[in-house]
Amino acid sequence: MQNAATCATDTRTSPVEDCQLYIDGTWRESASGDRMETVDPTTESVVTTVAKGGKDDVEAAIAAARRRADDAEWARMPAPERQGLMMTVADIVERHADDFARCETLDMGKPIQFARSIDAVLLADLFRFFGAAAADPDGDARTVSPPPDHAARQVMSVREPVGVVAAITPFNFPLLLSATKIAPAMAAGNTIVHKPASATPLSAVRLAMAFEEAGVPAGVYNLVTGPGSEIGDTLVTHSDVDKIAFTGSTGVGKGIIAKSADTVKKVTMELGGKSAHIIFADADMNSAVQNAIFGIFYNKGEICTAGSRLLVERSALEEVLAALVAAASALVIGDPLDAATFLGPMADEGQLKKVESYVRKGREAGADLRYGGERAEPEGLGGKGWFHQPTIFLGTNDMAIAQEEIFGPVLAVIPFDDEAEAIRIANDTTFGLASGVQTTDMAKALRVANALKAGTCWINSYNYFDVSVPFGGVKQSGFGRECGRQALENYTQTKSIWLPSIAEAAS
């Protein structure tokens, strides 16, 4: 396995320091005065400390968001003005893209090549796309003749903001999976309380700085960093929070749904996945293998769409396995601040131990380990860092490594004999987030894509995203869509306004 060179130590300085809570347009320490450390998973050393918010702080953030939502100044702001603010945020993100990228890399080990070229770019795109959507709200008007008088009347249907939105976001794409909630919520005129993952808060602090610089009104965006057990529970159960937008594990999502029921909140869930990626024997094998490698090892496998179940037509199985092993062995693993690195460390030690536990489960179940399976120790890091080798098993679909979300660089390869069996195996899971099909037969590709029970299907590609394309899952991968104009439906509610008849208006 290749190793990236170690970066100069000065590049490990956090782009944000003295990280406080951002509530009602002001930076403040937590009510308790407590702080928590955020740790670099590459060096296992403290990057900086951030305010450790608690119940009093999230109550203050909710109150600020509620006041701003209820005074209607933000919701009724002329669309061009709100659009202008969001475009300004996008401009600030582009100017400081390196800061945002380094926050992601230092906080969760995302290779800088991806943090800069994908995450920071899409972050700006999200605010531009939804800024434009803010200036083009949906609504309609129609003429009806209802009983009992059957007089012609006009009815307007208008979309209004839901109010206060709680965005609870994960550690694996801290920037993007925050912005996929915050940008459409802002575009629709809502106010936000943001609880980022406690392990990766730095980019959220940097985003709050961008909102402040852009002149986003106080109370529109509020940031509370701290433990989910206290902050998250308060947001989920609070009567002044109108909507929860969550990305995370299916287990946690189910708990949020249950806890939010008493206040009948509007809820959207982007949950786990165990996505099937299918390679047919007629595929362009070079391209198919590269797509499979990117499908599972991009972002160290810490991605909900990971093509972690690779279904391979039996006649091509050994050819594909040999190519996968060759490609995996060529991946550069090392310091994510090095531009050559493809695989950085797991986001924290707990994730590394989880990956190791699933590798043990795979071995114990009799899966055939073809590559990897151990911790990695890149050169120049002194044995530090929560690194794991890219790992490839040959197994069956009933194994834990093929049924449970690992969230790491572990691939389960599963053979099939024909198209019908591939579809059956692919759909034999509780999840339904993403899928992929590799074949040169486009008729077959479309048949299979339409038969797969998943919110996304990539044909002869994998892990492609665009802010204009709706994204979300089916089955236990969640409900609701992020990105695209469909996302605005999650952050608005429809009101119908009946106008007087012409006769009534004239009298």
Question: Which positions are annotated as active-site residues?
Answer: 270, 304
- In 3D, which of 212, 194, 216, 218 has the Cα closest to residue 204? 194
- The CA distance from 138 to 251, in Å, is 34
Q: Which ranges of 241-316 would DSSP assign to H, the alpha helix?
A: 250-260, 285-297
**Which DSSP category does 4 fall into?**
P
**Which DSSP category does 489 fall into?**
G
Number of CB atoms found within 10 A of residue 372's CB: 21
Helix, strand or coil, per DSSP, at residue 279 = strand
Residues 6+ apart with CB under 8 A from 113: 339, 340, 341, 342
Amino acid identity, position 170:
P
Q: Which residues is 195 bridged to in the sheet?
A: 168
Number of CB atoms found within 10 A of residue 59's CB: 15
CA-CA-CA-CA dihedral for 209, 78, 130, 478, to nearest 10: 90
For residue 318 the two structure tokens come to 């050994």
**Which DSSP category does 263 fall into?**
G
Contact by Cβ (8 Å): 434, 273: yes
What is the rounded end-to-end Cα distance, in angstroms, of the chain? 84
Contact by Cβ (8 Å): 172, 347: yes
E-strand ranges in 19-120 read: 21-23, 26-28, 35-40, 45-51
